[in-house]
Amino acid sequence: MRAGDARAAESGGEPLLEFREVSKRYGEFLLDRVSFSLPRGYICGLVGPNGAGKTTIVKLLLNLVDRDAGRIEVAGLDPAEHETAVKARIGFVHEVPTFYEHLSLEAIGDIVGSFYTAWDEALFASLLVEFDLPPRVRFGTLSRGMRTKGALALALAHRAELLVLDEPTAGLDPVFRRALLERLAGYVSDGRASVLLSTHITSDLERIADFVTYVRAGRVVLSATRDELAERWAIVRGGPALLEGEARALLSGWERAPHGVTALTFDAPGLRRRLAGHEGVVERATLEDIMFYTGRSC
Amino acid sequence: MLRKLFLKDARLNPHLFWGVIPFFAWVAYALREDGAPVGMLTVVSGVMGAATAATVAAREDRFHATALLASLPVPRETLVLSRYLLAAVAGAACFLGAAALAALLPWSSHALGSIFDPRTVVMALVIAGSSVAVMLPMALRFGLVGVVAFFAVLQVAGVVLFFIASMFGLRQPMRLVFGSVEAGLRALHASFADAGASALALAVLAGALWLSYRLSVWLTTRRDL
């Protein structure tokens, strides 16, 4: 049994976060009937190219934008109807952390903390030390990476049930980035909390995400566990005959080269059966492969 | 929750509280003259105080911190309510501050009865309240741009009025406009001697503020951050 299965059993199978057919239009851009769910005790990676709709999903969750259709639930509560109760459960890091620039992190902590009943002052102080952040320096003078670390400290210090992080690793040095990912993995390990991590850095998700939801041009292309992805999606390399046989129906986003074809399959077991005895190599697909080849097929 | 929002605003905008000191110094200086318009000074102080709420909302927007505030566990309706209450508290405080100067300064010769003339109090409420009713929805929805746009529209309207008046051969049209405004305010002030007129004005003001508040809530909850 995977560690995650034990966490799922503890959570009783109820999703902590659920999006059902959520739509939002911004001028020309349409976030179209987005659905995915995240059980307690897991990390869900929200991945997609720039402008895919990841930040809009995060904003919808925080009720910062008004949705046009669909249902969102956090611990069974709709953020639009139970704004305070839902936001008290969420720790957030926005893509561009904007706090009061003329205040220090210590002062911002005092202000932000006053709104959370579960705020832990000692934990916040220890996080500032751990993240090597100066508590009394003006927020506006901090680097992008330090601002993100500060936002993380604020998000973690009220022991949120759901951490919502929008591109948190952009601007972080590799050492802290890895430390952050380890911390996030540790944060969900007791099955109490979950993390929704929006990013376009796929290697981060391959390291820690239990679930992956891939968004492209406002639509969910796939939403699956990391194990399902590894099982079902694969890269296949073979000769030009690959595109002529019945295996072609299982391929997408193929790339022709002088000596053969490379393509993505969404049914690796089925493809392996069809290719039995024929030329072709099926390899594990990375998230980047999936993003690249599904992008080509659009 | 409202107390926390007040404390936050106080902590984020200390200069607004220090900024009233030069203003009250000017009030104190103006009061030294015989026949100083104490009613005008207290009313202007009240309006200035009430306008603080729009400034605070605009500054929130300037820091791009509106999304942060809206991400905290505070209903947006409460955020709006806190701005209206801030306008009421700051307006009352500034009105009372100017009144206290008029009553206590040794060189001010105004009697308490003239300082707290009911007509002046109603006048202060009407002007400050109607300013807040117009400005706050703009500031809450459009931030600093909204406040600037409000004054820009007034400015443009003045210029247009000037040209229209010139086309009809009026000399010194602005004097006519300002004169009309002054005469209107004086007439309004005088009408508040009648308790019925005061009650009606306050009822209309209460309705306008309620509509303004509901409009602000509607605009704010639909604002995409």
* Minimum Cα–Cα distance from A55: chain B residue: B225
* Minimum Cα–Cα distance from A93: chain B residue: B68
When CB atoms are compared, the residue of B63, B72, B221 closest to A87 is B72
pLDDT of residue A213: 92
Which residues of chain A have a CB within 8 Å of the CB of B61? none
What confidence category does residue A297 fall into, taking pLDDT thresholds of 50, 70 and 90?
Answer: low
When CB atoms are compared, the residue of B12, B75, B224 closest to A66 is B224
* Minimum Cα–Cα distance from A84: chain B residue: B73
pLDDT of residue A4: 43
The mean pLDDT of B32-43, rounded to a whole number, is 83
What confidence category does residue A277 fall into, taking pLDDT thresholds of 50, 70 and 90?
Answer: low
- Residue A101 sits at the chain B interface (C-beta within 8 Å): yes
CB A142 within 8 A of CB A150: yes
pLDDT of residue B91: 92
Residue of B62, B71, B81 to mutate, interface with A, max A Cβ within 10 Å: B71
- Residue A139 sits at the chain B interface (C-beta within 8 Å): no
Q: Write the pLDDT tens digit of every residue in A212-256.
A: 999 998 999 888 888 888 888 888 888 777 777 777 778 887 788
Residue type, A54: K
CB A40 within 8 A of CB A191: yes
- Residue B14 sits at the chain A interface (C-beta within 8 Å): no
Which ipTM was obtained for this model?
0.77
Q: How far apart are CA B124 and CA B55, in angstroms?
A: 19
Is residue A142 pLDDT above 50, yes or no?
Answer: yes
Domain regions of chain A by residue span: 3-229, 233-297
Average pLDDT, chain A: 85
Distance from CA of B9 to the nearest CA of A (A): 10
Which residues of chain A have a CB within 8 Å of the CB of B75? 83-84
Q: Helix H segments across chain A?
A: 3-10, 54-61, 83-89, 105-113, 121-130, 144-156, 174-187, 202-208, 226-232, 268-275, 287-297
Distance from CA of B148 to the nearest CA of A (A): 22
Q: Domain A3-229: which topology?
A: Rossmann fold (3.40.50)
CB A111 within 8 A of CB A184: no
Q: How far apart are CA A186 and CA A130, in angstroms?
A: 15
pLDDT of residue A6: 45
CB B110 within 8 A of CB B102: yes
When CB atoms are compared, the residue of B67, B73, B225 closest to A116 is B73
Is residue A275 pLDDT above 80, yes or no?
Answer: no
- Residue B224 sits at the chain A interface (C-beta within 8 Å): yes
Which residues of chain B have a CB within 8 Å of the CB of A103? 11-12
Which residues of chain B have a CB within 8 Å of the CB of A96? 64
Q: Write the pLDDT tens digit of every residue in B110-148.
A: 888 888 888 989 999 999 999 999 989 988 888 888 888
Max Cα–Cα distance, chain A, nearest Å: 68
Q: How far apart are CA B48 and CA B43, in angstroms?
A: 9
* Minimum Cα–Cα distance from A107: chain B residue: B11
Q: If contacts are CB pairs under 8 Å, which of residues 60-89 in chain A contact chain B?
A: 62-66, 83-85, 87-88
pLDDT of residue A3: 41
- Residue A59 sits at the chain B interface (C-beta within 8 Å): yes
CB B63 within 8 A of CB B144: no
* Minimum Cα–Cα distance from A98: chain B residue: B65
Is residue A2 pLDDT above 50, yes or no?
Answer: no
Q: How many CB pairs under 8 A join A and B?
A: 63
What confidence category does residue A12 fall into, taking pLDDT thresholds of 50, 70 and 90?
Answer: low
Is residue A94 pLDDT above 50, yes or no?
Answer: yes
Which residues of chain A have a CB within 8 Å of the CB of B65? 98-100
pLDDT of residue B149: 84
The rounded percent of chain A whose pLDDT value lies above 90 is 37
When CB atoms are compared, the residue of A65, A101, A114 closest to B225 is A65
* Minimum Cα–Cα distance from A92: chain B residue: B71
Q: Write the pLDDT tens digit of every residue in B74-96.
A: 888 899 999 999 999 999 999 99
Distance from CA of A97 to the nearest CA of B (A): 8
Distance from CA of A183 to the nearest CA of B (A): 23
Please indicate whether, in this complex, the C-beta atoms of B73 and A92 are within 8 angstroms of each other.
Answer: no
Q: Write the pLDDT tens digit of every residue in A58-80.
A: 999 998 898 999 999 999 999 98
Q: Helix H segments across chain B?
A: 2-12, 14-30, 38-62, 66-71, 76-104, 112-115, 118-167, 173-191, 195-221
- The DSSP output letter for A31 is E
